[in-house]
Amino acid sequence: MGYSFGGIKRFFPLFVAGLLLCVPQASVWAGELQLQDLIDEALHASPEIQAARAKASASSFRVPQTMSLPDPMVMAGYQNAGTNRFTFNEMSDSQFMLSASQQFFFPGKRALKGEVAAREEESLSASAQAVRLRTITMIKELYYDLFLAHQSMDLVRDKGVLLHQLEDAALARYGAGAGMQQDVLMAQTEKYMLLEREEMLKQKIQTLEAQLNSAVGREQAAPLDRPVAPAFVPYSQALPELIAAAYENSPEVKARERMVDSLDAKVRVAEREYYPDITVTGNYGLKGQAFDDMWSLSTTVNIPLYYSTKQQPAVQEARASLTEAKNELQAIRLRLSSAIRENYAMLQATERLMDLYRQGLNQKIHQDFQGALASYATGKADALTMISRIKTITDIETSYWGQMVEREKAMARLEALIGMTDFRTEEGRQ
């Protein structure tokens, strides 16, 4: 092969420098993909958000409908005396008749029906906010997963560079008679395995880009730039504060609370159905010039005679629905508390692991690698040892970025759970 020991000595400084490149170098991209830009776009383009917003908006029109009185009834007709001839203006009983009637609810019913609709509107508005929170959380998680996929691609490529340098070193030792051909083959095999890993990551990036575009409301084939690395910001809120904030601000809790209020009003509406409504009717009879016209005013009251099979079961149904909603509200609070505790524990664990990688493992593995490198330079270690060290460095770097991404995803879920996602951009554009 023509390799000399002097060539090996000249090669090793470059080899060491390459192996110490532990921080992955980002690939060259046309631009950076900003998370806030995706969120802003989703707030105006996401079909799920738009559908929830339209549903909440539609519910606001039910309030005046439920408080409106029934349509008035108008009647026009003619009454004739006898059947042989037209007797208008000849017989006192012959007349053109006009009447109008209007039903009025028992006092308090209209206000209660309006309260039911208003609370339902508030519940749907809170549900629409919950949809926005879930969509934003999904976008954040996909964004960070996409960032991790790109970062993993960098680590794989950096590992390929190190393996290529190891292959060159193995070839140099083999050519000088100081190494074995098996070392060269092992380095080459690892390189081909990296190609497989790289193709899998490319496929994952394409899948994540399609999912992210779908969540935002874009065409799935729309190209995306590379996500920006998240900045580490210490999380200062304590667990009790998070749970208290969730109970107060969570849109899911608010939606269920408004539903409880609505069903409570429905119970009172059902109880008011025991009381009759009143229909007022005015009549006017036009008899012609020969007779005086007539008018009358009457009221009609419905009698809730079948209350045992109508009003009473309606009250029981409303009360059962209210009990169901109250228990669902309590279940949501318990689920929120559990989810907050789970994500808070995950956030703390990832922070401890990240600190461990930065302060402990990262330094120790580099020290270990330096020792292995010195042994390999003197022929006291084989290529398998070097490949193992390279794998360990890559695995630790991958784990570090993976823990950072999991931390960011846990923070995103916590923000959604406590209802604290920032909508200032959306509000500013409306």
Residue 379 pLDDT: 65
In terms of domains, do 192 and 262 share one?
yes
Which of 258, 283, 305 terminates a domain? The answer is 305
In terms of domains, do 42 and 95 share one?
no
In terms of domains, do 323 and 414 share one?
yes
Average pLDDT over residues 171-196: 67
pLDDT over 50 at 2, yes or no: no
Q: What CATH code is carried by the domain that includes residue 398?
A: 1.20.1600.10
By the 10 Å C-beta count (0-12 exposed, 13-18 middle, 19+ buried), 62 is classed as middle
Of the pLDDT bands very low, low, confident and very high (cuts 50, 70, 90), residue 100 is very high
Which of 305, 324, 347 terminates a domain? The answer is 305
Short-list 355, 349, 353, 343, CA closest to 412: 343
pLDDT digits (tens, 9 = 90+) for 327-345: 999 999 999 999 999 999 9
pLDDT digits (tens, 9 = 90+) for 288-325: 888 999 999 999 999 999 999 999 999 999 999 999 99
pLDDT over 50 at 232, yes or no: yes
Instruction: Provide the domain limits for residue 84.
Output: 71-104+275-305
Residues of the chain with pLDDT > 90: what percent? 59
In terms of domains, do 115 and 169 share one?
yes
pLDDT over 50 at 405, yes or no: yes
In terms of domains, do 49 and 186 share one?
yes
Which of 305, 325, 350 terminates a domain? The answer is 305
Average pLDDT over residues 210-225: 87
Residue 377 pLDDT: 53
pLDDT over 60 at 170, yes or no: yes
In terms of domains, do 15 and 121 share one?
yes
User: Who's near 142: CB < 8 A, 6+ residues apart?
Assistant: 208, 211, 212, 215
The per-residue DSSP string of 250-314 comes to -HHHHHHHHHHHHHHHHHHHHHHTTSPPEEEEEEEEE--TTS--EEEEEEEE---TTTTTTHHHH
Of the pLDDT bands very low, low, confident and very high (cuts 50, 70, 90), residue 423 is very low
Q: What is the β-pairing status of strands 226-227 and 32-33?
A: parallel
pLDDT over 80 at 284, yes or no: yes
In terms of domains, do 178 and 269 share one?
yes
pLDDT digits (tens, 9 = 90+) for 50-72: 999 999 999 999 999 999 999 99
pLDDT over 50 at 7, yes or no: no
Higher pLDDT, 231 or 39: 39
User: Who's near 141: CB < 8 A, 6+ residues apart?
Assistant: 409, 412, 413
In terms of domains, do 97 and 195 share one?
no
In terms of domains, do 411 and 335 share one?
yes
Of the pLDDT bands very low, low, confident and very high (cuts 50, 70, 90), residue 218 is confident
Residue 169 pLDDT: 63
Domain count, the chain: 2
Three-class secondary structure of residue 99 per DSSP: strand
Short-list 352, 388, 124, 424, CA closest to 252: 124
pLDDT mean across residues, the chain:
83
pLDDT digits (tens, 9 = 90+) for 9-49: 333 333 333 433 333 333 434 478 999 999 999 999 999 99
In terms of domains, do 176 and 78 share one?
no
Residue 320 pLDDT: 97
In terms of domains, do 200 and 237 share one?
yes
In terms of domains, do 151 and 290 share one?
no
User: Who's near 404: CB < 8 A, 6+ residues apart?
Assistant: 230, 232, 350, 354
Of the pLDDT bands very low, low, confident and very high (cuts 50, 70, 90), residue 371 is low
DSSP lists the bridge partners of residue 295 as 284
